[in-house]
Amino acid sequence: MADIVSASQEILVGQYCTLAPFVILYYDYFLTLPLEIERFWPQRTFSWASFFFYVNRYMALLGQIPIIISFFSPQAPQTCLYLLKYHNYFVMVTQMVVGTLLIMRVYALYDRSRTVLAFLCITSGAVVIIAVWSSMSAKGKGNTIPIPVPHIGCTDLLSTLESIQLLAIWGYLLVFDTLVFVMTVAKAFMVGRSGDQTLINILLRDGSIYFLVLCWANLLNLATLLLGGLFIKGIGTTFANILSVVMISRLMLNLRSPSLIQEKSSIDTDSDFSSSVQHRVSTVVYPLPCDTFVGFEPSQGGYIGKDGYDMDLVSRSV
């Protein structure tokens, strides 16, 4: 009897912990939709940064629907098996998109250094290999064990091996996030006072908030995998995945802040000063050589080059 009560409590806690990130995702979307309309929709060109921003944002909004159904509506055991597999693959694809945006951001910060790009791709590639191996090794497995507790939705019962595999994946993601944060801070200090202080402040602020939030979410997820009960293991996966989507969307939106636009406009009013700092207009924001720089185009929401590309990863250069 005690086991049944304990299982019921764990399932209830798991459902509450699963519901919370869905609320955060959709609430934050409608909260930031005016910013998206203002800062992304007016642009006439379509950059890779914008493409991945929309993929990250709307894939999460639409792709979570089957997961919500699996957690909060009655399903047959075989249907649960398919939905749980979908959830695992969806998390993997989402993290690949988030990782791509982070790599593009650091790549732009380091002046399109191919060494930095290769290093980050190799580092992130290790995560992908581990995730694919984990998914393939779990092929054909799933929770078809009847649970002697009244509940609604699918419950994923992780084996010890599956918990260890997820620990490895999310632990490595935490290492990758730490690496990106350290490289961002290092670049900001390398630029120092000779660069655009508004941009540096935004990079440090957003980078610090992103890292702290994701670090907390990943540690919580690792704790549930390591110490959680049978029905608690892995409940932090959805939470960490959704928070990464929300935070990277916020990073992209903040890099098109009007404060950066106003500062660039005020600089452009002084032609002498503008020419004296033109050498600072580098690839931190739009990876283009200085001689291809045209200027800021408000209707496009970012800086453009002669070839028309909108290089808006960081919104400005230093």
Residues 6+ away with beta carbon under 8 Å from 196:
263, 280, 316, 317, 318
The domain spans of the chain are 2-260, 262-305
User: Under CATH, which number does the domain 2-260 receive?
Assistant: 1.20.1070.10
Q: Is the CB of residue 204 less than 8 Å from the CB of residue 188?
A: yes
Region of 234 please: left (phi>0), alpha (psi -120 to 50) or beta: left
What's the half-sphere exposure (Cβ side, CA atoms, 13 Å) at 72? Answer: 13
Phi, psi for residue 166 in degrees, rounded to 5:
-65, -35
How many other C-beta atoms lie within 10 A of the C-beta of residue 318?
A: 23
> Which structure tokens are listed for 276?
């004296």
Instruction: Name residues whose C-beta falls within 8 Å of residue 13's C-beta, 6 or more positions apart in sequence.
Output: 232, 235
> What is the token pair recorded at 106?
């650091």
255: how many CB neighbours lie within 10 A of its CB? 22
Cα→Cα distances 271→192, 213, 267, 268, 274, Å: 24, 42, 8, 6, 5
Q: Give the DSSP H/E element, type plus range, for residue 50.
A: helix 48-72
pLDDT 10s per residue in the chain (318 long)?
A: 556 667 677 777 778 888 899 999 999 999 999 999 998 988 777 788 899 999 999 999 999 999 998 888 887 888 888 888 898 889 989 999 999 999 998 998 888 899 999 999 999 888 788 777 766 665 444 444 455 555 567 777 777 777 888 888 888 888 999 999 999 888 877 776 555 566 677 777 888 888 999 899 889 888 888 887 777 788 888 899 999 999 999 988 988 877 665 555 444 433 333 333 333 333 333 333 333 333 334 334 443 333 433 444 543 333
pTM greater than 0.85 (yes/no)? no
On the 0-12 / 13-18 / 19+ scale of CB atoms within 10 A, 16 is exposed
**What does the pLDDT read at residue 249?**
93
Of 294, 109, 273, nearest to 199 by C-alpha is 109
Question: Cβ(293)–Cβ(287) under 8 Å?
Answer: no
Quick check: 263 and 43 in contact, CB under 8 A? Answer: no
